[in-house]
Structure 1
């Protein structure tokens, strides 16, 4: 869906024909190579939550957290990180849920 919208935007733009062809040629490669950033490990310590994945990030306080059943999404300074049900059971994520709840800020 996103690729179709991007292709439509490229075609409807006022770019020269050669630039449109280049962008339309590169678009499938970019769409195929993009992967949702997923953490490989989560650690909870005195400094906060450490998310280890493509980048190592330490969150002293949560920015935004969305929890829907076993799915967890965390907004970090480097983007959103998602933990799905097949990556970690709810019992293993419970300390993280508690930390996010205690450190939340309203407003």
Structure 2
């Protein structure tokens, strides 16, 4: 059975820092879990066309993970909703200006 899981000494010989960089800290929360929007009504972040984005953007202003959220939206080409305090149109404009 050791053939299937490999040599266990490889795992135990690895330093704690190496394992942490691979798997993260056991109790580490993801940025999504720390986001203020995870504690509020998601409808504010996905308004109907023409609906107000003011409340969502206000919440984003005080959020500690705003940068991570915006990076995620830009990297994953999120087309709907408020991410990192910006609407889809604002994110599109930001991408165009970066090119």
- Fold similarity call, TM over 0.5: no
TM-score range, shorter chain: 0.3 to 0.5
TM-score by length of 1: 0.32
The structure where helix makes up a greater share of residues is 2
The structure where strand makes up a greater share of residues is 1
Work out which structure has the larger RCO, using CA pairs closer than 8 Å and 6 or more positions apart in sequence.
2
TM-score by length of 2: 0.34
